[in-house]
Amino acid sequence: MKLIIHQVFIFWFFLPFSAISGDHGDYKNLIFKGCANQRYPDPTGVFSQNLKNLFASLVSQSAQSSFASTTSGTDNATAVIGVFQCRGDLHAPQCSDCVSKIPKLVSKLCGGGGDDGNVVVAARVQLAGCYIRYEISGFPQTSGTEMLFRLCGKKQSGDPGFSGKRDTAFDMAENGVKTGGVSGTGGGGGGGGFYAGQYESVYVLGQCEGSLGNSDCGECVKDGFEKAKSECGESNSGQVYLHKCFVSYSYYSQGQGVPNIEPLSGGEKRQHTERTIALAVGGVFVLGFVIVCLLVLRSAMKKKKTTKYDAY
């Protein structure tokens, strides 16, 4: 019987780690690509080499941090500026794995990889868990709140109180990114405000690029949620990617579980998994408690029985 109790508590200890560790399986899914129409004539291959060096540097840095910005090349005419960032709930190995997939995708998705003597002057590839963007030095800058991509759920919540719950969750995230608030387990470290949390039936996530300060981050996320409301309306889920931040939300109704976002963001899946884990761990704890009670009861009965025999 002692062996059974030991196994119960070992299972209880390892369950959260083993379940959560495999919960980011979708972080390498492609969300969108942005490719400049301009090509840079590169007969000498200098720009192409700078771009390769830039990618190598970003991939290398992704093993230690979740955000980095760097420049490759010393000549302003051929220098390349690049940024990578990972979602705030990814651990360092996942971040590095995610970022390392992007360099090959840039050429595949945007073309102009240098083999024909031309290189795309600016590009961004966004995966579910990370992105890389680069641009040639002097490339025109865009607003940090320019909307690049949005995805809205096909279903509506059907809850009369949905708008109020969603807006409260949005306010929580707006305040949370200013202090780098993270709900549940996180990893990766690095820059950029990140928040993942829940208000009643609404899961919400927001993150800013590491170059933004707390105040600017809050304003960017606020703008993202405003766009989510105007673009997605009463949809039960939505994702909005701006130039310098992104936001995501998901509503679930009682008894239905978390609805499927197409694709469901890893942060939201993590929240649902943690809720499931809490229930499982609670069940295991109750089972362990019952076994302990049975042992105590059995010991007491045995002692009582022994005492009775001794009296005779």
Write out pLDDT tens, residues 181-208. 544 333 333 335 899 999 988 999 999 9
Q: How confident is the model at residue 179 (pLDDT cuts 50, 70, 90)?
A: confident
E strands, the chain, are 30-35, 39-41, 67-72, 80-86, 118-120, 122-127, 130-136, 147-152, 194-199, 202-208, 237-242, 245-251
Tokens 């302003």 map to which residue?
76
Q: Are 199 and 172 in contact (CB under 8 A)?
A: yes
Q: Which residues of 14-26 are buried (b: 16+ CB within 10 A; e: fewer)?
A: eebeeebeebbee
pLDDT in tens, 17-30: 222 223 445 899 99
The mean pLDDT value for 235-258 works out to 83
Residue 142: its pLDDT value, please? 81
Q: CA-CA distance, 131 to 31, in Å (whole number)?
A: 10
CA distances from 290 to 155, 162, 282 (A): 43, 40, 12
Q: What is the pLDDT of residues 135-158, one digit of tens each?
A: 998 888 888 889 999 999 998 888
Q: 89 or 117: whose pLDDT is higher? A: 89
State the Cα angle at 120 between 115 and 123, rounded to 5°: 130
Residue 134 to residue 208: CA distance in whole angstroms:
17
Confidence grade of residue 253 (pLDDT, cut at 50, 70, 90): low
Closest C-alpha among 104, 107, 131 to residue 119: 107
303: its two tokens: 């002692």
Share the mean pLDDT of the chain: 75
- Cα–Cα distance for residue pair 218/87, rounded to 1 Å: 17
The fraction of the chain above a pLDDT of 70, given in percent, is 67
Among 224, 213, 227, residue whose Cα is nearest residue 178: 213
The string of DSSP codes covering 242-270 is ESSEEEEEEE--TTT-SPPPTTPPHHHHH
Predicted pLDDT of residue 74: 87
Tell if the pTM clears 0.75, that is, is over it. Answer: no
User: With contact defined as beta carbons under 8 Å apart, do 121 and 136 qualify?
Assistant: yes
**For the chain, which domains are there?**
26-136 (3.30.430.20), 147-274 (3.30.430.20)
pLDDT at 189: 34
Query: Minimal CA–CA distance to 245: which of 131, 168, 165?
Result: 131
Cβ-proximal residues to 123 (8 Å cutoff; 6+ apart), any chain: 33, 34, 35, 36, 106, 110, 133, 134
For position 51, what pLDDT does the model report? 94
Among candidate residues 205, 13, 183, 61, the one with its CA nearest the CA of residue 128:
205
